[in-house]
Amino acid sequence: MSTAVPEPITASLPSDVRVAVVAARFNAHITDELLGGCVSRLQELGLDKERIEVYRVPGAFELPVTAKALASTHRVAAVVCIGAVVRGDTPHFDYVAGETARGCQQVAINEGIPVIFGVLTTNTEQQAFDRTGGSHGHAGRFAAEAAVEMICVLAAAKRR
């Protein structure tokens, strides 16, 4: 894992900006912590509860289609996808993790809004816990920071 995590760049968000957070229910003992950290950090960065929409889906594989549905409403400036895919004894991990990442990226490209990949893809549950406030920081908080930064970057790009 890289230890060169950048400091978050903060900027003023427009008062009407809304962010959607879509969290998988599978591995809830992990994703609930990621979701809580993400929402908490979004609030710290200036979004009040009324501007944060939270949706739950069965698993990580369902994140991209939900992100697409939300992005296509043009109601939100970013979608944060939260999930945890832990490697097991079968190749199921490879299909779910890879296709979820590809799907989230495709939604971002097609819709022109940030779709943040806040999905942990780990070999063990301990590695996931290490990324939910443990020795590797909090991936939910990092995802919130990425969403806010990208909203600001894209807003600046549109003004030029």
List, by residue number, the catalytic residues. Answer: 92
Q: Is 79 annotated as a binding residue?
A: no
Q: Is 84 annotated as a binding residue?
A: yes
Q: Is 86 annotated as a binding residue?
A: yes
Q: Is 117 annotated as a binding residue?
A: yes
Radius of gyration of the chain (CA): 15
The burial class, CB within 10 Å (0-12 / 13-18 / 19+), for 14 is exposed
Q: Is 131 annotated as a binding residue?
A: yes
Q: Is 26 annotated as a binding residue?
A: yes
Dist CA 84 CA 36 (whole Å): 14
Q: Is 62 annotated as a binding residue?
A: yes
SS3 content of the chain, % helix, strand, coil (to 5): 50, 20, 30
Q: Is 93 annotated as a binding residue?
A: no
CA distances for 21 relative to 62, 71, 74, 110, angstroms:
13, 11, 15, 19
Structure tokens at 86: 């832990």
- Beta strands 137-138; 132-134: pairing state: antiparallel
Answer whether 60's CB lies under 8 Å from 25's CB. no
**Which residues carry a binding-site annotation for 5-amino-6-(D-ribitylamino)uracil?**
26, 60-62, 84-86, 117
Bind-site residues for (2S)-2-hydroxy-3-oxobutyl phosphate? 89-90, 131
Please state the residue numbers annotated as binding site. 26, 60-62, 84-86, 89-90, 117, 131
